[in-house]
Amino acid sequence: YYHGLQTALKNHLRYNKPLHERCENEIKINLSIDGLPLAKSSKSQFWPLLGQIVHVHYREKPFVIGVFHGYCKPKKPNEIIHQFIEEYSEIQNKGFQYRGKKYKVLINAIICDAPA
């Protein structure tokens, strides 16, 4: 399931501190992805892709960009993040529109485990 970066950002911003209080014209985000086993008796796993707006003065709550399911670790990271990469490329070209204003979206950090 891919919720989408733009949709997730808009939903997050709608219920949190106004964006103009956070930044002028750019939004910095951290991305996080890690597998979570659903049960000990099954190999079924969720792989959530989470975002978090980075701000110097306060902590933002993370928001869900996508949740992926599988029965083993993905063989290639692209299996999980290809939709995100396509959408992020489009945002880089066109910008992110929110309440009549255009913002740059920058990735501050990608947080994940190294493959075993």
Structure-token pair, residue 34: 């890690």
* Helical pair 5-14 and 78-94, crossing angle rounded to 10 deg: 70
pLDDT digits (tens, 9 = 90+) for 9-66: 999 888 876 665 666 788 999 999 988 888 888 889 888 999 999 876 667 889 999 9
Percent of the chain whose pLDDT exceeds 70: 89
Distances (CA, A) of 3 to 11, 57, 81: 11, 28, 12
Among 65, 82, 80, smallest CA distance to 7 is for 65
Q: What is the torsional sign of CA 101, 106, 108, 110?
A: positive
Query: Are 53 and 26 in contact, with CB atoms under 8 Å apart?
Result: no
The pLDDT confidence band at residue 71, using thresholds 50, 70 and 90, is: confident
103 vs 98: CA distance, rounded Å: 8
H or E element, residue 14: helix 5-14
pLDDT digits (tens, 9 = 90+) for 97-107: 988 889 999 99
